[in-house]
């Protein structure tokens, strides 16, 4: 079927404080651009927004630099528990898993749950589902994340969060970050979807629930889609993704909805970021944290926010 509109795509690999490692920026840039190139080429061939979002999330989950899937951070008890969600803007269906362990791609479970009567499963339920689906058992642990956790345990878990990306120097650093991954796509038929996946904050207590599998952290309608990153509690308190999307659905422009929502978040001293697309193809991103690791394809070129450090709360194109 012939494409009706030009597809658009935006992804993120977390938000937080500056990258520590020498060359960290170029490594992250390459990692994000590879995902943008592959997923945008799929959109051009006519895949749906949801399919594109799932593929983008899989690629980011498989990259050990990012805090989702392989390379997820460890919780206070040394275990990895991951959360992911998918929202299809056309069907307005939200699905997800919360604190799932031993699977490679939590976003695939969120995709499966799109067509289930029970669409959000927590730890025990998601483990049962993985068993029913015969998802192979997978160890998402990396040496860097283990080293980071051991260092933190020695310091009695003083840091509020793990590093935004896994970097060799991070274990020696006291500079925290806020890792998550997310993808928002507008397909060639003007349909939107959003997906978000995370290993959580890192070092949290057992049972803590991330924003990434809540509408606060991931939301889409036929008007707009948003994926958030940052401190989950701050995102939940702002109800950020749903707030931006509903403002656009009620008639506000994406730029105004982002500016108003980030102005509020900044006033409330939140530490977070978000990526957004609307049905007209407008792209936006915002942060109150120091950096936002996002990249996008606007139909002509690839851009990213890795060196976007200015005082503006939002960017728009």
Nearest of 3, 8, 197 to residue 87 by alpha carbon: 197
Q: Which helix (H) or strand (E) holds 263?
A: helix 254-267
Q: Near ligand GLY by CB under 6 A, which window of 40-48, 162-170, 198-206, 298-306?
A: 198-206
Catalytic site residue from 27, 90, 160, 180: 180
Minimum gap (Å) between residue 221 Cβ and ligand GLY: 21
Q: Which of 63, 75, 198, 261 binds ligand GLY (CB under 6 A)?
A: 198
200 binds ligand GLY (CB under 6 A): yes
Distance between CA atoms of 260 and 281, rounded to whole angstroms?
A: 20
What dihedral angle (degrees, nearest 10) is formed by the CA atoms of 54, 56, 58, 59?
170
Residue 185 pairs in a beta bridge with: 9, 193
Write out the binding residues for ligand GLY, residues 210-249 only, by CB under 6 A. 210-212, 229-232, 235
- Start-end of H helices in 180-295: 232-238, 240-249, 254-267
C-alpha distance from residue 229 to each of 37, 147, 181, 219, 220 (Å)? 22, 23, 7, 13, 15
Catalytic (active site) residue 45:
no
Give the number of residues in contact with ligand GLY, rule: CB under 6 A: 12
Q: How far apart are the first and last CA of the chain?
A: 28
Distance between CA atoms of 142 and 159, rounded to whole angstroms?
A: 20
50 binds ligand GLY (CB under 6 A): no
Minimum gap (Å) between residue 244 Cβ and ligand GLY: 16
Minimum gap (Å) between residue 264 Cβ and ligand GLY: 18
- On whether the CB atoms of residues 89 and 97 are closer than 8 A, the answer is no
The closest residue (CB) to ligand GLY is: 232
- Hey, is 4 helix, strand or coil? coil
> 274 or 277: whose CB is closer to ligand GLY?
274
Nearest of 28, 311, 25, 289 to residue 178 by alpha carbon: 289
Write the binding mask 157 to 186 for ligand GLY: x where contact by CB under 6 A, - elsewhere.
-----------------------x------
> 188 or 232: whose CB is closer to ligand GLY?
232
Q: How deeply is 123 buried, as exposed, middle or buried, from its count of CB atoms within 10 A (0-12, 13-18, 19+)?
A: middle
75 binds ligand GLY (CB under 6 A): no
> 15 or 28: whose CB is closer to ligand GLY?
15
| Neighbour count for residue 312 (Cβ, 10 Å) | 12
> 48 or 305: whose CB is closer to ligand GLY?
305
Q: Which of 8, 81, 201, 287 binds ligand GLY (CB under 6 A)?
A: 201
- On whether the CB atoms of residues 313 and 263 are closer than 8 A, the answer is yes
> 185 or 216: whose CB is closer to ligand GLY?
216
Distance between CA atoms of 289 and 269, rounded to whole angstroms?
A: 10
> 204 or 278: whose CB is closer to ligand GLY?
204
Binding site for ligand GLY (CB under 6 A): 180, 198, 200-201, 210-212, 229-232, 235
Q: Which residues are catalytic?
A: 180
């Amino acid at each position: 079927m012939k494409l009706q509109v030009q597809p658009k795509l935006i992804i993120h690999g977390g938000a937080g404080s500056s990258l520590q490692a020498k060359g960290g920026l170029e490594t992250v840039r390459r990692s994000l651009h590879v995902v943008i190139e592959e997923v945008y080429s799929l959109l051009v061939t006519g895949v749906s927004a949801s399919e594109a979002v799932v593929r983008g999330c899989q690629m980011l989950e498989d990259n050990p630099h990012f805090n989702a899937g392989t390379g997820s951070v460890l919780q206070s008890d040394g275990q990895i528990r991951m959360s992911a969600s998918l929202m299809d803007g056309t069907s307005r269906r939200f699905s997800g898993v919360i604190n799932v362990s031993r699977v490679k791609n939590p976003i695939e479970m969120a995709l499966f749950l799109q067509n289930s009567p029970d669409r959000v499963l927590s730890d025990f339920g998601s483990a049962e589902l993985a068993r029913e689906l015969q998802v192979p058992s997978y160890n998402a642990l990396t040496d860097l994340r283990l080293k980071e956790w051991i260092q933190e345990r020695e310091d009695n878990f003083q840091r509020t969060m793990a590093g935004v990306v896994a970097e060799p120097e991070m274990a020696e650093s006291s500079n925290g970050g806020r890792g998550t991954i997310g993808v928002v796509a507008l397909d060639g038929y003007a349909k939107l979807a959003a997906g978000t996946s995370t290993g959580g904050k890192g070092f949290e207590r057992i049972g803590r629930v991330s924003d990434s599998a809540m509408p606060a952290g991931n939301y889409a309608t036929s008007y707009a889609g948003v994926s958030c990153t940052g401190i989950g509690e701050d995102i939940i308190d702002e109800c950020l993704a749903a707030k931006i999307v509903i403002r656009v659905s009620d008639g506000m422009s994406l730029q105004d909805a982002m500016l108003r929502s980030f102005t509020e978040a900044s006033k409330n001293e939140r530490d977070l970021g978000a990526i957004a697309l609307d049905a007209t193809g407008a792209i936006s991103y915002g942060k109150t944290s120091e950096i936002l690791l996002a990249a996008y394809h606007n139909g002509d070129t690839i851009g990213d926010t890795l060196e976007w450090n200015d005082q503006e709360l939002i960017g728009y194109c």
